[in-house]
Structure 1
Amino acid sequence: MKTNPNTVCDLSTGECGPSDEEAIQRLDFSPQTSKLTLHYVTDPICSHCWALEPVLNRFQLQYGHHFEFNVVMGGLLPSWNGFGDRANGIRQPSDVAGHWREVGEHSRMPIDGSLWLDHPIQSSFPPSRVFKIIQQNHPGKEREYLRKTRERLFAFNENIAEEAAMIRLVDEIGLNGRDLVAQAAEESAQTLLEEDFALAARLGVRGFPTIVMMNEDRQGVKIVGAQPLETYVKGLESVLNKPVIPAEVPALSDWFSGKEHLFSKEIEVMYDLRPDQAEAFVAEQLSGRSPRIRHVLGELYI
């Protein structure tokens, strides 16, 4: 029996004739992109992490499609019993105030810090445990909680490790604060926190903020401290072994949800503005929403 040749009509020429392609071919339509994991090792009371927010915002919005973002609690302050930070001259709570003011002035992310003089935080573990409980039970909401916690602590000088403050902050993100804070006091919450500490140790983290980007072959880069945007982009390209194209930055009207504040430095970094351009830019971009432009510690915020 004679087999008919496999004939096709060529899309480019319009001619029909025998094809030299196999009749059955295996295809793979899965996206040909590699996605890595970004571990952000931090702590709710880390001042340099607050200083990193403007750059981290932009990095996530423009390059976040390349990685899964995982926040890891690092355990900055277990208690003041035996704690000391010789590099920054910190031996007692009151020593933190001056250090925080310096970080705020240098970064222009507002930091009050006077609570360390009269109402100091005794441990960063309680809000860290609340973070872990939210992360476990309400994925996605933990980032909102962490952001609100930092705003209240750094810009508005609240002791965010007190039970009443933690309950209120959890309530504000639409969850049951009393229940979640009670869960965070259980031994299982401390176990979750210690799992993060173990991960941070395996990643070789010795300070905050630290970002570790790792591919599926467990090869990666570690970036220590609050660095410029270009440093994180270079790190990402190094792990992916290719150039990356940034997404467009969102319009301010899309980025500003109203759930969180935005401070002048964050707006300037996102939109490449000078400090003296920020207020007019906000008024123009949010003209239909009548934004309430306020100031704290000499910095604009909405």
Structure 2
Amino acid sequence: MTETEKKQRIKQEGSVQIEVYTDPLCCWSWAFEPQWRKLRYAFSGKIKWRYRMGGLIPSWDSFSDPMNSISRPLQMGPLWLEAKHRSGMPIHDRVWFENPPKSSIPACLAVKTAELQSPVAAEQYLRAVREAVMLQGRDISERKVLLEVASELARRKPAVLDFSRFEQELGREASKKALEEDLQKTRLHGITRFPTLTIHKPGAAGVMIVGYRPYEALLEALKQVAPELTPTQHAEDEEKYSAYWGEGITEREVAEALQTSVL
């Protein structure tokens, strides 16, 4: 392969784009983190992604999930318990009995506020706010909690998030506009389940992955879109993989990457 061909291939491989439709209060999106993190690690530098907030629970007055017979907070607990057992991810399912969030819109808005600073800030804030509810049982529908999560992230990683700017922009026009754009795209594509991933290359037909899926399904979808794509690295060492993601990585995420079982 010539140097020109190599450069063209690298450029082509880097053009794979993934849009992740998700929500901070979606237990299946949290359950999907081991597979999603493994994919980003394996194809580091060869795929690009962006998060779209789905607004899972606008309010409990308007929310209804007939498939799972859920229309009020207490009924969400068993679904979270199911996600916990199916995925092996730790989940504080009792939040729906002890401290139920009233809506997922405030947390979605907070993620988009972080994104005004950078995609990295959005990704790390999304992870942090998920940990707040999924691991710690905090009510992420409260502005106070969302600001606390941002403050904690900014303290740990000041280069990632500017807390003063976040506090000023939370709920202002720019963040609201960014969230509305996501909600419009979610409605346009008829997406009602999270996580949903659309994988495509510019100018070509893409593939949609809906719901909690195994890692092999992600690989198959990626192969359909970009059969020439090959991994840049493989997780072979627990310490190295954990260090790559930093604090907060779960035992289940490490097990998925190293293909060991904790179930």
Per the normalisation by structure 1, the TM-score is 0.76
Give the Cα separation in 1 of the matches to 2:208 and 2:76: 27
SS of the counterpart of 1:65?
Answer: coil
Once the two structures are TM-superposed, the CA of residue 201 in structure 1 deviates from its matched residue by 3.2
Q: Map 1:68-107; keep pairs closer than 5 Å.
A: 68-107=48-87
- Does residue 32 (structure 1) correspond to residue 9 (structure 2)? The answer is yes
1:98 maps to amino acid: P
SS of the counterpart of 2:32?
Answer: helix
Q: Which has the higher contact order (CA 8 A, sep 6+)?
A: 2
1:135 touches 1:141 (CA, 8 Å); kept in 2? yes
Which among 210, 217, 225 is matched to residue 203 of structure 2?
217
Matched residue, 1:201: 187
Matched residue, 1:162: 142
1:119 maps to amino acid: N
Give the Cα separation in 2 of the matches to 1:181 and 1:123: 20
Once the two structures are TM-superposed, the CA of residue 191 in structure 1 deviates from its matched residue by 1.3
120-129 or 42-51, larger mean C-alpha shift: 120-129
- Does residue 271 (structure 1) correspond to residue 258 (structure 2)? The answer is yes
Give the Cα separation in 2 of the matches to 1:143 and 1:243: 24
Which among 172, 185, 188 is matched to residue 186 of structure 1?
172
Distance 1:241 1:263, change over 3 A: closer
Give the Cα separation in 2 of the matches to 1:64 and 1:50: 21
Q: Deviations over 1:51-90 (max 9, x none)?
A: 1011111111002433211111111011112211111111
1:104 touches 1:111 (CA, 8 Å); kept in 2? yes
SS of the counterpart of 1:137?
Answer: coil
2:192 maps to amino acid: R
Give the Cα separation in 2 of the matches to 1:59 and 1:29: 23
Which among 21, 28, 32 is matched to residue 48 of structure 1?
28
2:237 touches 2:258 (CA, 8 Å); kept in 1? no
Once the two structures are TM-superposed, the CA of residue 194 in structure 1 deviates from its matched residue by 0.8
230-239 or 107-116, larger mean C-alpha shift: 107-116
1:54 touches 1:270 (CA, 8 Å); kept in 2? yes
Which among 16, 35, 41 is matched to residue 61 of structure 1?
41
2:180 maps to amino acid: E
Once the two structures are TM-superposed, the CA of residue 247 in structure 1 deviates from its matched residue by 2.1
1:148 touches 1:260 (CA, 8 Å); kept in 2? no
Distance 1:240 1:153, change over 3 A: same
Once the two structures are TM-superposed, the CA of residue 246 in structure 1 deviates from its matched residue by 5.3
SS of the counterpart of 1:185?
Answer: coil
Q: Deviations over 1:211-255 (max 9, x none)?
A: 100111141100101111111111111011446345222643333
Unaligned stretches of 5+ in structure 1?
1-26, 277-302
Q: Number of paired residues?
A: 250
- Does residue 231 (structure 1) correspond to residue 231 (structure 2)? The answer is no
Unaligned stretches of 5+ in structure 2?
155-160
Which among 109, 125, 129 is matched to residue 129 of structure 1?
109
Distance 1:176 1:162, change over 3 A: farther
Give the Cα separation in 2 of the matches to 1:193 and 1:170: 18
2:16 touches 2:200 (CA, 8 Å); kept in 1? yes
2:34 touches 2:252 (CA, 8 Å); kept in 1? yes
Give the Cα separation in 2 of the matches to 1:28 and 1:259: 36
Give the Cα separation in 1 of the matches to 2:101 and 2:70: 14
Per the normalisation by structure 2, the TM-score is 0.87
Give the Cα separation in 2 of the matches to 1:260 and 1:122: 28
1:141 touches 1:173 (CA, 8 Å); kept in 2? no
1:130 touches 1:181 (CA, 8 Å); kept in 2? no
SS of the counterpart of 1:275?
Answer: coil
1:38 maps to amino acid: I
Which protein is bigger by CA-based radius of gyration?
A: 1
